[in-house]
Structure 1
Amino acid sequence: MEIAHDIFAETNPAYCASLLAAFVRAYQARSGLEPDITLCYAALPLALSGDLAKTFGRTSRKTGLLEWLRRSPVIQIRLADRVNESLEIVTEAIRFGCFSNLIEINIDGRVALCSSHVLRHLNAHLSQEMQEIFDNIDRLGHWFALAGSTRTVFNMMGLEL
């Protein structure tokens, strides 16, 4: 039997907007600030990439971005391509999140959480695999916030702004 992989479901704007809201919530919880919108363009493809899922094993919110990257250098292979190829998906997720009042973009280009009640109720209805993706983006939110500035995060990952 061949197992089908549903790319359409993984790139659904509502699903991706929920992931971004989880990222924003985690980032805000760690730093007290909203993440820069450009961080969303790095976080979402990292969380959604099935081939990177194993790299999150044996990590926690306290692991940190630099340690995660050190443990799994494979993350940085074609990372710029991965981010560039997902620009449209992330943009659609941000649009959906804004239109549905899940997130908002403030005048400084930072993403703020509008409503977190959706996230609290969502977890009960997720498969194990989807829950792991939400856990992974939560970790990324904490790691990006701990790293400091947006420039620092991008520099750590070998990306240019």
Structure 2
Amino acid sequence: MLIAHDIFAETNPAYCAALLTTFVGAYRSQCDTDPDIVLCYAALPLALSGDLAATFDRTNSRTGLLEWLHRSPVIQIRLAGRVNGSLDIVTEAIRFACFSNLLVVNAEGRLVPGTSSVPKGLTKQLGENTQQTFKHIERLGCWLALAGSTRTVFDMMGLEL
């Protein structure tokens, strides 16, 4: 039996907006600030990358970004290309989230929750791989919040702002 991989569904702006809303919520749960918009450009492609899914095994919200990167150095291989290749996908997801009032970009360039929310129980209706993607982006939200500034996060990942 051949299993098809639906890239179009994984890059759907509504799906990606729900993931980003989860990321923002997890980030805010760990610190008293909102995430810089540029963090989404790193978090979303990392969460969506099926080839990196195994790197999240045996991690939780307390693992931390640096520990995760040290455990799996493969994450940083071609990371800049992965981020650059997903710029349009992330931008469309942010636009969709803002148009849907899931998120708002404030004057400082940070994402804050909007007046709408992702339906509760949404992930329970999704397949196992999709549920895992939501868990991964939630962990990334916690890890990036605890890592420090946006510059620190990008330095840890070997990326430049």
Q: Note whether the superposition's TM-score is higher than 0.5.
A: yes
State the TM-score, normalized to the length of structure 1.
0.97
Distance 1:110 1:9 in 2: 27
Instruction: Tell me if the contact between 1:22 and 1:119 (Cα under 8 Å) persists in the aligned partners.
Output: no
Report deviation, 1:32: 1.8
**1:9 aligned partner:** 9
**1:155 aligned partner:** 155
| CA offsets 1:77-109 (integer angstroms, 9 cap, x no match) | 000000000000000000000000000100000
Aligned length: 161
Distance 1:147 1:124 in 2: 29
- Residue aligned with 2:29, SS: helix
Letter in 2 for 1:66: L
**2:54 aligned partner:** 54
Percent identity, aligned pairs only, is 68
Report deviation, 1:114: 1.3
Letter in 2 for 1:43: A
Report deviation, 1:120: 2.1
Distance 1:153 1:40 in 2: 12
Instruction: Tell me if the contact between 1:34 and 1:110 (Cα under 8 Å) persists in the aligned partners.
Output: yes
Instruction: Tell me if the contact between 1:18 and 1:119 (Cα under 8 Å) persists in the aligned partners.
Output: no
Instruction: Tell me if the contact between 1:11 and 1:89 (Cα under 8 Å) persists in the aligned partners.
Output: yes
User: Unaligned stretches of 5+ in structure 2?
Assistant: none
**1:66 aligned partner:** 66
Indicate whether 1:87 and 2:49 are aligned: no
Distance 2:99 2:145 in 1: 25
Instruction: Tell me if the contact between 2:47 and 2:133 (Cα under 8 Å) persists in the aligned partners.
Output: yes
Distance 1:115 1:7 in 2: 29
Distance 1:145 1:157 in 2: 14
Report deviation, 1:2: 1.7
Instruction: Tell me if the contact between 2:154 and 2:160 (Cα under 8 Å) persists in the aligned partners.
Output: yes
Distance 2:80 2:56 in 1: 19
Report deviation, 1:119: 4.5
Map 1:13-52 to 2 at 5 A.
Answer: 13-52=13-52
User: Unaligned stretches of 5+ in structure 1?
Assistant: none
State the TM-score, normalized to the length of structure 2.
0.97
Indicate whether 1:130 and 2:136 are aligned: no
